[in-house]
Amino acid sequence: MAQQERAVRTRNALIESAAELFCKDGFDVVSLSTISARAGVSNGALHFHFASKAALAVAVWEAAAQRLGRITAEGRARSEAAATAEGTGGTGPGGPLQVLVDATHALLRGLRHDVILRAGFDLSESPVPVAAGADLRRRWQAWVEGVLAEAAREGTLARDVSPQDAAHAVVAATVGFGALGSRNAQWLSQSMLTRFWALLLPRLATEVALKGLVASGWREGMTGADGVPSPFRVTARSGA
């Protein structure tokens, strides 16, 4: 059992080391010996777990995909739990649009603090053959489109807004914040994303739905993190 635990720790250390170096220097530049040295293990130990750098990249991507899956699943689970507590069923306060807002805040929080998640998104545009359908950006876009389609069915998305067009805007912004955040962490701040949502939500949501939305995120808005008022609600459509 102790040997198995050591093997797991070694494997995880290699994955984290690879993620850090892929983010810092890029997949093409990083060598296996550099990865093993950063992880504090021998080259032999690395090759015991991973046959190649591409295999290590697959492991990084798989770990990142699990993290993205948790972000999207946990946001919906919290919303459904809130709805159950209120006895309303479905999603909680703010409906699918609040689920989306909350997930984007969780994603940027993850990109700020989790190097494996950052590396997974970076690998989406790398020439390394990770796996079919391994583009985290496409996974994220598909999920965003699904949530916006749900909002349209529930009548909380403005009638003249296409879920696909709205998803393109949200994904472009969040992925763009992630890319810019690699150089300037302010792009990944809660306040930056809150201001984006304060600008976009009046265009996306119906008048009624807008009143229940928290642009700073339901979790973040309750704490007023990053100097954002608690909660930061949007109460009027642009031009109203």
CATH of the domain at 95: 1.10.357.10
Do both 32 and 65 map to the same domain? no
- Answer whether residue 119 is part of any domain: yes
pLDDT the model gives residue 145: 97
The Cα–Cα gap between 218 and 232 comes to 9
pLDDT at 63: 95
Query: Which amino acid, residue 68?
Result: L
pLDDT score, position 74: 85
Question: What pLDDT shows up at residue 223?
Answer: 47
Domain extent for 34: 1-51
The answer on 182 and 103 residing in a single domain is yes
My answer on whether 132 and 23 are in the same domain is no
Spell out the long-range contacts of 181-190 with Cβ–Cβ below 8 A and sequence spacing 24 or more. Answer: 181/108, 181/111, 181/112, 182/23, 182/118, 185/112, 188/108, 188/109, 188/111, 188/112, 189/108, 189/112, 189/226, 190/105, 190/108, 190/109, 190/216, 190/217, 190/220, 190/225, 190/226, 190/228
Q: How confident is the model at residue 3 (pLDDT cuts 50, 70, 90)?
A: confident
| Mean of the per-residue pLDDT values of the chain | 86
Grade residue 110 by pLDDT with cuts at 50, 70 and 90. very high
Q: What is the pLDDT of residue 86?
A: 52
What global pTM score does this model have? 0.85
User: For a pLDDT cut of 90, what percent of the chain falls above it?
Assistant: 70
How many domains, the chain? 2
Residues 85 and 168 in one domain: yes
| Mean pLDDT (whole number) for 94-122 | 94
Q: Average pLDDT, stretch 45-66? A: 94
Say whether both 99 and 22 belong to one domain: no
Return the pLDDT at 224. Answer: 47
154 and 131 within one domain:
yes
Q: Are 105 and 220 in contact (CB under 8 A)?
A: yes
More confident of the two residues 211 and 81: 211
- The answer to whether 28 touches 1, Cβ cutoff 8 Å, is no
Domain of residue 29, CATH code: 1.10.10.60
At residue 2, does pLDDT exceed 80? no
Render pLDDT for 123-152 as a digit per residue (tens, 0 to 9).
887 766 555 556 899 999 999 999 999 999
Q: pLDDT band at 4, cuts 50/70/90?
A: confident
Which pLDDT does position 240 carry in this prediction?
Answer: 41
pLDDT tens-digit series, residues 163-205: 999 999 999 999 999 999 988 999 999 999 999 999 999 999 9
Domain co-membership, 113 together with 222: yes
- pLDDT value, residue 238: 43
